[in-house]
Structure 1
Amino acid sequence: MDAQQETREAAQSRWMTGLARTGLAARGLLYVLVGIIALQIAFGSGEKEADSSGAVQTLAEKPGGIVLLWLIVVGLAGLALWRLAEAAFGAAGPGGHKPSKRLLSLGRGVFYIGFFVTTLLFTIGAREKESSDEKSKDLTGRAMHDVPGGRWLVLLAGLVLVGVGIGMAWRALAKKKFMEKLTVTGHAREVVEKLGMTGRTARALVYGTAGVFLAYAGISFDPDKAEGVDGTLREFATTPAGPWLLVAVALGLVTFGVYSACEAKWRQVTPGNNPG
């Protein structure tokens, strides 16, 4: 048996699929916590950032929270390995062999590697968790000042993020593509579909709005205009709808967290299992 075949078998093993499902459950927990923090902000009692850093810090302060943090670290490692395996052998589900889907899995794998590293360092006490707003402003400022044409790259990145948000919402509401990867049947399938449509649309709204702020930062040549997840969510409370738009989005993020738990149970996660 050659090395490639051994790697493929490892990627399709029960421990890999178990890691992937653990990661999806961990992602769900983080979204539920972000949504709860956003609800607290809407009602004037939120002190933490409504993003992954706030969620991780919330867990760290709870009795037994360190156990959950380590489970999340393992889950993030699982998500990273799973996505990289999909990039190598094809994403699970219909059409997963397509280069576009494999490239998307690669990008997600790289993202989860970074998320895993920062969460691990926070868990072992080697580093403070940086908020999404700080990261966004820092990276935007570096791009603008250190990269030739960085201002226009920031604008382009913002427009791409807006497009991603619109595409995510369209796929969730009109195409319901996410259901193709789930094995759930019967009445539960109808429930999961509604959870996915609601949660994925809320997440898409956050992505798209963050893209608007990033594009505005490029146009105005001001990195402070860029917002991370926390800043984007807080901006919803400043609209004419008042805090109620933020409440709606926050509940949507909690719903996405519940939907992620459904994915942990019913999603196809075996890399290379990609008919069509």
Structure 2
Amino acid sequence: MSSSSARVSTKARRATDSRAAQLLARAGLTARGVIYILIGIVAILVAIGQGGHQADQQGALQLAANQPFGLLALWLLAIGFVGYALWRFSEAAFGVTGEGTGAGPRLKSLVRGLVYASFAVLTFKIITGKKTNQAGQQQDFTASVMHHTGGRFAIGIVGLIIVIVGLALVVEGARQKFMKHLRTGEMSQQTRKMVKRLGTVGTIARGLVFALAGVLVIDAAITYSPSKAAGLDKALHTLRNQPFGEFLLILAAIGLIAFGLYGLAEARWRRV
């Protein structure tokens, strides 16, 4: 094969890879947006006293499953989560668009890929009717780690990392850093303003909820109480149990829904 033919073949392969990456990314970002909207709805149900809901990804998926065409919705979400995970894994392997090939961005993409791969597994379990309890599994894992030497310290470090991630999201939202990932030139001025507002409110709310979840993990390590380390569900229920808890939880829910709506916009305009 001539050098010119090889270059043409390479360019064609890269174009195909780019289209595949875009499809995976946009399907995944759509699924992420939908799941945060559903989590926000579940949080509102908890706030107004409609019990029996886990205020986390599992509760959101079960809410979707109970709707008309729920099974179809779960399949679409599962496919989206797989797409998101594969997209992030590709970034971890080859570099992050707009952030280069540094170790930091690639490591973040790897972690995000693993998280959404776990969401895909959770969704497939619900589809197949397998009993699962996301919050309970987190508590059991925390308890098992605490039984080992240095386990409580390790759990405390994990909690601290979650707090740092949450605070970083708050800063990202406040400074509107998320806008650098979007093709804002393709938006109308009104759309750009709306997306910026949704992203700001949503990212800050998401960061605060993450930070609270991290604080609870640290508290679990200090007090040797694995039940406090139940992730998003525990964080939102903790808000519910505070003075003016219903109001605080509804505010958090609105913020998570805002992030979900921003996520749908990101699926449309994200640079991939």
Same fold (TM over 0.5): yes
Q: Which residue of 1 aligns with 2:18?
A: 13
**1:19–1:74 contact (8 Å) kept in structure 2:** no
Q: 1:229 and 2:244 equivalent?
A: no
Deviation sequence 1:243-272 (CA, Å, 0-9, x none): 100010011111111011001100112xxx
Cα distance in 2 for residues equivalent to 1:50 and 1:85:
30
More divergent stretch after superposition (78-87 vs 156-165): 156-165
Q: 1:240 and 2:243 equivalent?
A: yes
Q: Which residue of 2 aligns with 1:55?
A: 60
Shift of 1:34: 0.9
Q: Which runs of 4+ in 1 moved over 6 A?
A: none
- Counting matched residue pairs gives 262
**1:195–1:256 contact (8 Å) kept in structure 2:** yes
Cα distance in 1 for residues equivalent to 2:116 and 2:229:
22
Gaps of at least 5 residues in structure 2 are 1-5
Q: Which residue of 1 aligns with 2:199?
A: 196
The root-mean-square deviation of aligned C-alpha atoms, in Å, is 2.0
Cα distance in 1 for residues equivalent to 2:16 and 2:163:
33
Q: 1:166 and 2:161 equivalent?
A: no
**1:119–1:129 contact (8 Å) kept in structure 2:** no
Q: Which residue of 1 aligns with 2:156?
A: 155
Q: Which residue of 2 aligns with 1:27?
A: 32
Report the secondary structure of 1:12's partner residue: helix
**1:32–1:258 contact (8 Å) kept in structure 2:** yes
Q: 1:40 and 2:51 equivalent?
A: no
Gaps of at least 5 residues in structure 1 are 270-276
Cα distance in 1 for residues equivalent to 2:43 and 2:265:
22
- Structure number with the higher helix fraction is 2
Cα distance in 1 for residues equivalent to 2:65 and 2:26:
22
TM-score by length of 2: 0.90
Q: 1:198 to 1:16 in 2, by over 3 A?
A: same
Shift of 1:10: 7.7
TM-score by length of 1: 0.89
Shift of 1:97: 2.2
Q: 1:178 and 2:182 equivalent?
A: no
Q: Which residue of 2 aligns with 1:135?
A: 137
Q: 1:206 and 2:230 equivalent?
A: no
Deviation sequence 1:169-227 (CA, Å, 0-9, x none): 01110x22111000023331121111001001111111100111100111112212223
Cα distance in 1 for residues equivalent to 2:21 and 2:133:
29
Q: Which residue of 1 aligns with 2:119?
A: 115
Report the secondary structure of 1:49's partner residue: coil
Deviation sequence 1:46-72 (CA, Å, 0-9, x none): 421111111111111211111111111
Q: Percent identity?
A: 41
Structure with greater contact order relative to length (CA < 8 Å, sep ≥ 6): 1
Cα distance in 1 for residues equivalent to 2:55 and 2:80:
20
